Amino acid sequence: MDRGNCRLNGSGGESQAGESQGSERSPYGVITLEDLESFSEDQLSDSGNGSLEEGEIMEDEDQDRLLHYWQGVGRGHRVEVPRDMAEPIQQITTNNNGAHPRETVPYTFISCKEKCGVVLYEKRQYEKAHWACITVKEDTYEQSICYGFMRIMRYICQQNSLGRYLGMTIPIVTVVHTDEMHATLSRTVTIAYYLPANHQAQPPQPYDTDIVIEQWPATILYTRSFTGATNEATIISEINIMTEVLDSPGICLNDSFIVAGYTNPAAANRQNEIWFFERP
């Protein structure tokens, strides 16, 4: 990755890309696009019943309830969720309940290493593609992820040149950077969102001037799956485990990695991956 941006070749600076946490609440307070999946459709009001005025009132109540939930999570981790997040939060929640199936970032499987029937890691080819990225540095690593992610949410949910919801893709990725000993993570993060296939040729432009649309180059990645929370401690642990299981760790970059999250952070067995960049 070039210094200061978030391209998938991973060389250089201390940008990172978005994702968050696990168990019942995000241990970071990093509020992601998926945090409200635990809300069932019964918890979302059906504005199609009753008068238009009643529907509008119910919609406002839904937005308030969802916003207050996010604000409650954020307060416990020194993260402020502003009022203008109410509409993006509701859009993400409603669309994640089936209106817009999630699109997976495409790749080509190359090979894998197994031991006793367990896959230790996979080698994959990711083709060049457009991603929306924002680099943020707050007082803590967790705050950086949260504040950057909320800005990406606004872009996905209408603050773009098309003026409409773009669709959700998985995984949401966080490019992380460590010190030489893999003991600490940089607070600077780059939140990265893969543009859906129908927007790859002509990516909608963000209103937020800090969000950059980049074409990441084709890249070979070594990936290892893991379950549970994705906090600073688990990320460092997974980086060190992956270093140990690689046949030739020297073929990969030593200070830039990706954390990829696939499932609801509230899920007990959340599905994640750690990605290592093959050296160019």
Write down the pLDDT at residue 39: 41
Is residue 225 a part of any domain in this protein? Answer: yes
Is residue 187 a part of any domain in this protein? Answer: yes
Task: Report the C-alpha gap between 74 and 43 in whole angstroms.
Answer: 21
What average pLDDT does the segment 71-80 reach? 70
Query: Cis peptide leading into 171, omega within 30 of 0?
Result: yes
What average pLDDT does the segment 147-174 reach? 89
Write down the pLDDT at residue 59: 61
Average pLDDT, the chain: 77
Write down the pLDDT at residue 141: 74
Pick the more confident residue, 151 or 144.
151
Domain count, the chain: 1
Is residue 24 a part of any domain in this protein? Answer: no
Pick the more confident residue, 20 or 235.
235
102-148 pLDDT per residue, tens: 899 999 999 999 999 999 999 999 999 999 999 989 877 777 877 88
212-250 pLDDT per residue, tens: 999 999 999 999 999 987 778 889 999 999 999 998 989
Pairing label, strands 108-115, 103-104: unpaired
Q: What percent of the chain has pLDDT over 70?
A: 71
Q: Using the predicted structure, report yes or no on whether residue 34 has a pLDDT greater than 60.
A: no
**Tokens encoding 33:** 């696009």
174-209 pLDDT per residue, tens: 898 998 889 998 888 888 999 999 999 999 999 999
Q: What is the pTM of this model?
A: 0.75
Is residue 266 a part of any domain in this protein? Answer: yes
Is residue 148 a part of any domain in this protein? Answer: yes
**Tokens encoding 29:** 């307070």
Q: Using the predicted structure, report yes or no on whether residue 32 has a pLDDT greater than 70.
A: no
Write down the pLDDT at residue 96: 64
Cβ(17)–Cβ(258) under 8 Å? Answer: yes
Is residue 186 a part of any domain in this protein? Answer: yes
Looking up residue 180, the CATH number of its domain turns out to be 3.20.80.10
Task: Report the C-alpha gap between 148 and 242 in whole angstroms.
Answer: 27
Is residue 168 a part of any domain in this protein? Answer: yes
Residue 262's domain comprises 102-278
Confidence of residue 77 (pLDDT cuts 50, 70, 90): low
Could you give the C-alpha distances from 249 to 118, 237, 254, 276, in angstroms and in order?
Answer: 19, 16, 8, 9
Is residue 53 a part of any domain in this protein? Answer: no
